Amino acid sequence: MKTIFHYNASSRNYGDMTVQHGIAFSLSAISKESLNFISIDLKAGNPLTIDDIYYMNSFGHALIVGGGGLIMKGDGFDTESGWQFNIDIELLKHIRIPIIIYAIGLNEFPYDTGFPEKIYDHLRETMRIAKLVSVRNSGTRKFLKDIEVFKKIDVIPDPAMFVERFDLSLPFPNDDYLIGINWAGDRIKQRYKNTNKFDDIQKIAKACQRFLEFKGGGKVVWIPHVAVYDIHDAHVFRDILKEAFFDISELYPHLYPEQYFYVPQILGIYKRMNMVIAMRGHGNIFSFGQGTRCIAYGDHKKVEFFSREVSTPCLKTSCTEYELYNCMVSLESNQEYVNIVKLRRKDLYQDLLNFNVRILKLIGAL
């Protein structure tokens, strides 16, 4: 048996939980030995200590860092590194087991104050000593190259894309057209410049209302990603859409607060949607992974990077209701969408598989 310490964001967020699920599942599926994953939750805010390192050196065969948007300031706390790999730069040299950077992404919010200076030296040193480095999009690779990371960097898909789903029995007729809303209710000041979020919600809701009239009826389905933030804005949609609006956290309250156990069921909800408007990175990744039409929405680079990677539409918050509506009509009328996504997912899965093979060969599990 091989023990893999997995440094990741494993609590409170369905995107991060699905990444954890995807890495463990995809590696275990092809490993010749059983794999024991020991999770280290970065959301706890505790920096790694020398004792933690000695523990990993004694019992582990690798340390996986990622995936997800780890190139980000601490989530409500400062870190030793300036990004979410919370370890002092001087302690890195004491890690003896292979460090593997797995499908991480640039997660710099568009209207934030920027990264602390210490992040750049730390990223360069981490990538230098890592045995394997991968990022989840070309935009992140360019960022690392621009700060003079000279390591070979693989671009692989976010593993959340390939997690198996479980289909929930949603209480809607099969012929109902369903538009999923993956809203981001946190960090409003960092996400917006001059646009009030309620203006934005009204724009999206009215575009959906107009599109459902075009389709002859249907529903708008609110899919909270981090319920503690996202559910607070649902009432604005409900006020506009009335009986056409449904909140998943009300239909299936057992799914919240978020739990690792329910990841496949959340993916089943995304599969049932006909179209999703997604503001969060993993809202886009979930939709694409399930073959559901998706419009990336917002000013965050990570949604732009992903949409560019897989050639799906992306709209800024500055778009008009009419532009959003037209985008929905155009996406729905694209008869080649399903086949295009299927072929692109096949190529992306091969990239993921190739990287996983390298990991398992590195630790002697293949």
Provide the pLDDT for residue 358: 98
Instruction: Judge contact between 36 and 1, C-beta under 8 A.
Output: yes
Instruction: Judge contact between 133 and 123, C-beta under 8 A.
Output: no
Provide the pLDDT for residue 213: 97
340-355 in b/e burial notation, b at 16+ Cβ within 10 A?
Answer: ebeebbeebbeebeeb
Provide the pLDDT for residue 194: 65
Provide the pLDDT for residue 195: 61
Please give the single-letter amino acid code of residue 194.
N
Distance CA 173, CA 10 (A): 35
The β-bridge partners of 219 are 178
> What kind of fold does domain 178-333 have according to CATH?
Rossmann fold (3.40.50)
**Residue among 184, 65, 179 at smallest CA distance from 126:** 65
Distance CA 197, CA 203 (A): 10
Please give the single-letter amino acid code of residue 86.
N
**Residue among 285, 184, 188 at smallest CA distance from 226:** 184
- For the record, the structure tokens of 100 come out as 């593997």
User: 124: part of which helix (H) or strand (E)?
Assistant: helix 118-129
Largest alpha-carbon pair distance within the chain? Answer: 63
Instruction: Judge contact between 306 and 137, C-beta under 8 A.
Output: yes
The β-bridge partners of 64 are 6, 100
Provide the pLDDT for residue 92: 98
In the chain, the DSSP E strands lie at 2-8, 35-41, 62-71, 99-106, 132-135, 154-155, 178-182, 219-222, 245-247, 275-278, 293-297, 314-315
User: Which burial class, exposed, middle or buried, applies to 293 when counting CB atoms under 10 A from its CB (0-12, 13-18, 19+)?
Assistant: buried
Instruction: Judge contact between 73 and 82, C-beta under 8 A.
Output: yes
- For the record, the structure tokens of 282 come out as 């993993």
Provide the pLDDT for residue 174: 86
Provide the pLDDT for residue 128: 98
Provide the pLDDT for residue 191: 84
The whole model's pTM is what? Answer: 0.96
- Residue 115's SS3 state is coil
Q: What are phi and psi of 72, to 5 degrees?
A: -155, 145
Distance CA 189, CA 211 (A): 29
Please, what sign has the CA dihedral across residues 256, 73, 26, 277?
positive
**Residue among 179, 197, 201 at smallest CA distance from 188:** 197
Domain ranges for the chain: 2-161+347-362, 178-333
Architecture of domain 2-161+347-362: 3-Layer(aba) Sandwich (3.40)
Distance CA 191, CA 316 (A): 11
pLDDT digit string (tens) for the chain, length 366 residues: 999 999 998 877 999 999 999 999 999 999 999 999 999 999 888 999 999 999 999 999 999 999 999 999 876 678 999 999 999 999 999 999 999 999 999 999 998 888 999 999 999 999 999 999 999 999 999 999 999 999 999 999 999 999 999 999 899 998 899 999 999 988 888 887 766 778 888 999 999 999 999 999 999 999 999 999 999 899 999 999 999 999 999 999 999 999 999 999 999 999 999 999 999 999 999 999 999 999 999 999 999 999 999 999 999 999 999 999 999 999 999 999 999 999 999 999 999 999 999 999 999 999
